[in-house]
Structures are given as structure tokens and as C-alpha cells.
Amino acid sequence: MFEPFLPKKFCREFVEIKGYSGQLVMIMATIKGIKPCMDDWIPVNRLKAYNNICASYGLFVEPDTIFDVVKKTDLPMGIVGRERLTTTTAFGLPLNQPRVNSAVHVFVAKTKNNLDKALRNGWYPLIIKNRVIDKPLIDAFKFGHDLGYPACCVAFFRKYNNWNKYSHLYEILKNTPQGKHPFLCNPFTKDVTYSYIYHMPCSYDCAKTLSLTKKIRSAIYEEEPELVRNIDRHLKLPLLVFYERKFYAFEGEIKNKRIYYKNVYFIGQMPENNLYEADLKRGDCVFLEGKDTVILKRGRAIKRIKWQKKQFAPETPFIIQFN
């Protein structure tokens, strides 16, 4: 269901050189001039080839630093500030000191001006010499504008991207008119190829996000209509959401606030957070009872996932399907 997508022609080289199709839509939107800039991660030994491909599409590339990504659970306890890291957990290395499996963080744009702005604001908090080098919040907000995100979504991110206080995805749901979930505003599949956006909207009915995604969808359809059909199908799958890095997509449908399904996929991107896929695969229906998650098989309860209060990355489970 969430296998990589290989285009027939347009941007096919990017998938071939990276070995996967993550951020395929973003590079397409950048080439089409809809997205001002994007960032990407490239294996060190493929950077030259990546640069050549970008040049053939009229894009500029600037490397930032090398990311040596590790699991948060594998971080030494002596790292100062390790508790402040959220979704990106990596040691920063100079460009001339790569390690096995490390990747170069690069910025890509159609104009030098857009590239320079993103390079100035788009750096990530990294571990340098056993200390987390934190990023000023103002740089994160500026970077959102550099990437072409709607101003309303950047402002919402500024208020609710606090992992010690909020579940950002649930706050978006609270800010959404009941039942208004157009599929073009679905951000959940952004890390598994099949989405038109790579930001979290301020609402699952955000007008400015809809305007942006319609332009991207139309531009991609001119080049790769099969990709558009695949994205649309994935965006309409029912979802069970716990928090930003723990959520599941289902082949099925929602009836009376219950998901009836024949298959389930963890798409939260961090394997250590995939706590429930095995139980969900045993079932054929899931629903929420208060904040507890109940899994059924042929109408009989086989698992209850009790809600637990968390100080960091709080969870408020919800079920949603974009239409």
C-alpha cells in the first residue's frame, strides 16, 4: 500500500538515486515553481549525482551539514540537552567527515535568493561534541515561510508546536469545523510519499493550504497522472491518531465512529513508537471509548489500549477520514 512510487519520467531520476520516493512531490513542486524551496537528505556518496540531476531541472543546491542519525533510545545519557530533541535525533558532522550511512542535508530551490534565505534559517538542532545546539524559534518560523507554508499555518505551528504541552495534531482537529476534512489538507502521509503538503495545516480545512495543494496537484497531474491517482487514494484512508509520531492508516471505512478494516499500516515513521500494529492486525474493527482504544474481532473485544498521561509528547487519540 505504501510502497515507493517510481514515476514514468518526470523526476524519476530522484527516486532512482535515493532509492525511495520520499519528498517526491516536494521536488516536483519546487521544479514547477510552486514551492520556493525544499530541503532533502542525500547519501554522501550520491551528492554529486544528485547535484547533476537538480541542475538538469534548473535547480540550485547548497549542502548544509552531515546528519548522522541515531535512535533517541541509543543516545548516551551524557548528551547535554538530549531531552529537548523531538523528531530529529542526529549528530552533526562536517562535510569532509562522513560516516557510514550518514546523509548530507541540502537545500534546493529554483532561484539563488530563495536558496540563500532557506540556508540562513533552515538549520536543525543537532548534537555537536556531546551537546545539543538548539535552534532559536524565530529561525524555525522564518524557515516555514521560506518553504512556502501558509502564514496562518506557520502562526499555528508557532503556538502549538510545544511537545511538553500540546498534541499538535489534536489542536488542529479542535480548530477544524466539524466534518470538514477535505483530502487535500491531509498531512499524515507526508513522510510516506503520498501527500501534496509537507506542513501541518492550521486546520484540516485550511483555505490557504487547499489553494496551495490544488496548484501542486494540477501541476503534477500534467506530468504524472498515475501519481496523482495514487496520492488521492492514500489521502482518503481512515486514520487512528495518537500523536505526531504514532498513527495508523487502514484499508477500510468508518461507520458510526468505528473503523472497519481489512489491513492496517503504521506510518508514524519511528519504529520504536509502533506499539499497536500487531494487536490491530489481529482485529477487524477499532474505536475510541473515552480516551481508550478498543480493538474488536468479529464483534468481540480482543484488546483495550488504556490511555496514559504523558508529560512529553502528550497523546489524545482520535479517528479521522479525509473526504
pLDDT tens, the chain, 323 aa long: 999 999 999 999 999 999 999 999 999 999 999 999 999 999 888 999 999 999 999 999 999 888 877 777 667 777 787 776 776 777 788 888 877 778 899 999 999 999 999 988 887 778 888 788 776 767 777 889 999 999 999 999 999 988 889 999 999 999 999 999 999 999 999 999 999 999 999 999 999 999 999 999 999 999 999 999 999 999 999 999 999 999 999 999 999 999 999 999 999 988 889 999 999 999 999 999 999 999 999 999 999 999 999 988 999 999 999 99
255 lies in some domain: yes
Q: What pLDDT was estimated at residue 135?
A: 67
Range of the domain at 251: 239-320
Helix (H) or strand (E) holding 279: helix 277-282
pLDDT (0 to 100) of residue 278: 97
Cβ atoms of residues 263 and 251 within 8 Å = yes
> What's the predicted TM-score (pTM) here?
0.90
Residue 242, number of CB atoms within 10 A of its CB: 24
Per DSSP, the residues of 303-322 read: EEE-----SSS----EEE--
Quote the pLDDT of residue 177: 96
Is position 268 within any domain?
A: yes
**Number of domains composing the chain:** 1
Q: Judge whether 42 and 103 are in contact, CB under 8 Å.
A: yes
C-alpha cell at 167: 498534541
Is residue 251 one of the residues assigned to a domain? yes
Residue 139, helix vs strand vs coil: helix
Q: Report the distance separating Cα 129 and Cα 138, nearest Å.
A: 24
Residue 298 in any domain: the answer is yes
The per-residue b/e assignment along 67-96, b for 16 or more CB within 10 angstroms, e otherwise, is bbeeeeeebeeebeebeebeeebbbbbeee
Is 21 within a domain?
A: no
Q: Which of 142, 144, 124 lies closest to 134, judged by CA?
A: 124
The verdict on residue 273 lying in a domain is yes
Q: How high is the pLDDT of residue 308?
A: 93
Which pLDDT belongs to residue 151?
Answer: 96
264 occurs within a structural domain: yes
310 domain residue, yes or no: yes
Phi, psi values for residue 281, rounded to 5°: -65, -25
